[in-house]
Amino acid sequence: MQDLNDFVWFVKVVEHGGFAAAGRALDQPKSKLSRRIAQLEERLGVRLIQRTTRQFAVTEVGQTFYQHCKAMLVEAEAAEEAVAALQAEPRGMVRITCPVTLLHVHVGPMLARFMARYPGINLQLEATNRRVDLVAEGVDVAIRVRPRPFDDSDLVLRVLADRGHCLVAGPALIERMGNPAMPSELSEWPGLSMGAGKHLHKGELSGPEGAKAEIHFTPRLVTT
C-alpha cells in the first residue's frame, strides 16, 4: 500500500524547488525527504526528479505525477472542509412558544419544513395565549401577534408580517341592531374581545381621508 505522506512530501519538494527548502517548510530533515522520494521513485519505477549537487529538475513524468498528487491534496482538503461544514450545521434544543391559532394556521407547517432542513435541531413547542416571560422560563423564540409599538425592547425583535384588523358583524346582528350612523353607536353593540381581568376593551377605526374614531365597549365574550 502506498504511503500517502510520500505524495504530500513530493508535492512540497516540487513546490519549494528543492529538498532543503521543503524540509524547512515541513520541519523534516532534508535527508529524510530525499530518501522517501527515492523510495517512491523505486516503487513507481520512474525518475520523478533529476537531482545533482547543483541541479534540481522535475522530469516530464514527475510533472504529470505532481499534477495528480496536487489534485489529490486539493480533494482531501475539500473533504475535510465538507465534514467541517456538516459539523457546523445548527444542533441542539430550541424552545418555542406561539399562540394556539397561529400554530394551526401558519407555524405548524413552517416547523415541519424547518425540522426537515435542520435535522440536528430538536424543538420543544408550547402553544399558549398567555404572556410568557422568555428569560425566566428559558424560552428561545416567542412568536406573537401584537400591535405596535412593541415592549420588551431589551429582547431581539423581528417583524415577520404586518396584518391589519377589521371590524366584522354577522348579517343577523346587523338586522337586529340596524346600521350604525356614527362609530360611537358601536359601543352599545355586543362584541367579542381578548384580554384578562379588568382589561380595557377598545378599538380604533380608520375612515376616509385619515379620519379616526376610538370605540370603547364592554364585550359579551372575552377570551384570554
Verify that 157 and 176 share a domain, yes or no.
no
Domain boundary among 86, 118, 151: 86
Q: How far is CA 196 from CA 87, 100, 136, 220, in A?
A: 47, 17, 21, 13
Helices (H), the chain: 4-16, 19-26, 30-44, 60-87, 100-102, 108-117, 134-137, 171-177
Domain housing 54:
4-86
For the segment 119-146, what is each residue's pLDDT rounded down to a tens digit? 889 999 998 888 888 888 889 998 887 7
Q: What angle do CA 151, 156, 160 make, to 5 degrees?
A: 85
Q: 96 and 61 in one domain?
A: no
Kind and range of the H or E run holding 51: strand 49-51
DSSP class of residue 103 equals I
Q: Determine the Cα–Cα distance for residues 115 and 137; give it in Å rounded to an integer.
A: 23
Looking at 52, 71, 86, the residue that finishes a domain is 86
What is the reported pLDDT for 65?
93
Sign of the torsion angle spanned by Cα atoms 133, 134, 139, 144: positive
Domain boundary among 36, 69, 86: 86
Q: What is the rounded distance in angstroms from the CA atom of residue 3 to the CA atom of residue 32? A: 14
Per the structure, the count of domains in the chain is 3
Burial class (CB in 10 A: 0-12, 13-18, 19+), 62: buried
Residue 9 belongs to domain with CATH number = 1.10.10.10
Write out pLDDT tens, residues 41-98.
999 999 999 887 778 899 999 999 999 999 999 999 899 888 887 777 788 899 999 8
Beta bridge pairs of residue 36? none
pTM beyond 0.85: the answer is no
